[in-house]
Amino acid sequence: PEIEPLTQYFGNKIDVLVTGAGMVPTAFALGRHFTKPKYDLVLNLGIAGSFDRAIQPGYVVEVTEDTFAETGAEDDEHFIPITTLGFGENTYRPTTSLSEVNSNFHLQKARAITVNTVHGNEASIKKVQERLNPQLESMEGAAFFYACQQMGMACMQIRAVSNYVEKRNREAWQIGLAIKNLNTFAIDLIDKIIND
Ligand SMILES: O=C(O)c1cccc(C(=O)CC[C@H]2O[C@@H](n3cnc4c(=O)[nH]cnc43)[C@H](O)[C@@H]2O)c1
């Protein structure tokens, strides 16, 4: 449902890969799909939660970096990131930007984290904010950047905010508004890209 208006609009003019929610389904689906011809541009489109009260539900945002928030080790009250452990990276970035792709389009930029568990507890939200100071969270973004980087694909992540990251308050989520705004933006952008 997140990209149905877009698939209806473009038909088979673009390839749409629905990965399912979460970093493992996303990385697997992209790894399997990328054995096919190289793409000019790969877009990750989805909804997200916002830690930043200035980035409100309905806003469409360009993600400029995305961190796997949970990869590391606990040392009692202290968190040791995987980078410190020496097992690899936790932060990944797009390999192109909206301004490079089409200078007529502008979006607010934001730093994101990628999580397995949607935050919904005040203490854990405070902890992750103190550690990583994210503006957005999703369940796929960093895995998307990772897969694209591994395969040398030009990539960008565009997310529409469906909810604030707060103590679980499912009734306040505005998924319909986020999906509408995400699809309106994505259709406009892709239309320009394929017709220019
Ligand atoms: O908690 C629920 O009842 C519930 C019902 C439907 C969907 C969800 C999701 O968690 C959707 C996950 C989906 O959306 C992205 N997303 C949206 N908001 C957030 C968030 O605050 N934290 C992390 N991910 C979020 C996510 O990328 C998934 O694709 C829950």
Contact (CB, 8 A) for 174 and 50 = no
Which of 18, 19, 24, 118 to mutate to test ligand 1, by most ligand atoms within 8 A of the CB atom?
A: 118
Of all helices (H) and strands (E), which one includes residue 49?
Answer: strand 42-50
Mean pLDDT of 98-104: 95
- Rounded Cα distance, 10 and 194, in Å: 10
Contact (CB, 8 A) for 178 and 41 = no
Residue 36 has pLDDT above 80, yes or no: no
Closest listed residue to residue 16, CA positions, set 154, 136, 186: 186
Strands 60-68 and 91-92: antiparallel
pTM: 0.96
User: What single-letter amino acid sits at 76?
Assistant: D
Please tell me if the CB atom of residue 1 comes closer than 6 angstroms to any atom of ligand 1: no
pLDDT digit string (tens) for 140-167? 999 999 999 999 999 999 999 999 999 9
CA of 196 to the centre of ligand 1 (A): 34
What are residue 87's phi and psi, to 5 degrees? Answer: -100, 5
Backbone region of residue 171 per phi and psi (left: phi > 0; alpha: psi in -120 to 50; beta: other values):
alpha
- Rounded Cα distance, 151 and 35, in Å: 9
- Rounded Cα distance, 132 and 123, in Å: 14
Closest listed residue to residue 169, CA positions, set 57, 20, 61: 57
Please tell me if the CB atom of residue 170 comes closer than 6 angstroms to any atom of ligand 1: yes
Radius of gyration, CA atoms only, the chain: 17
Which DSSP category does 100 fall into?
H
Alpha carbon nearest to ligand 1 atom 9, residue:
118
Ligand 1 atom closest to Cα of residue 141: 27
CA of 187 to the centre of ligand 1 (A): 22
Mean pLDDT of 47-68: 98
Please tell me if the CB atom of residue 26 comes closer than 6 angstroms to any atom of ligand 1: no
Cβ within 8 Å of residue 5, ≥6 positions away: 179, 180, 183, 187
Residue 136: band (very low, low, confident or very high) from pLDDT cuts 50, 70, 90: very high
- Rounded Cα distance, 181 and 73, in Å: 38
Residue 71: band (very low, low, confident or very high) from pLDDT cuts 50, 70, 90: very high
Residue 177: band (very low, low, confident or very high) from pLDDT cuts 50, 70, 90: very high
Complex ipTM: 0.94
Which of 23, 132, 138, 163 to mutate to test ligand 1, by most ligand atoms within 8 A of the CB atom?
A: 138
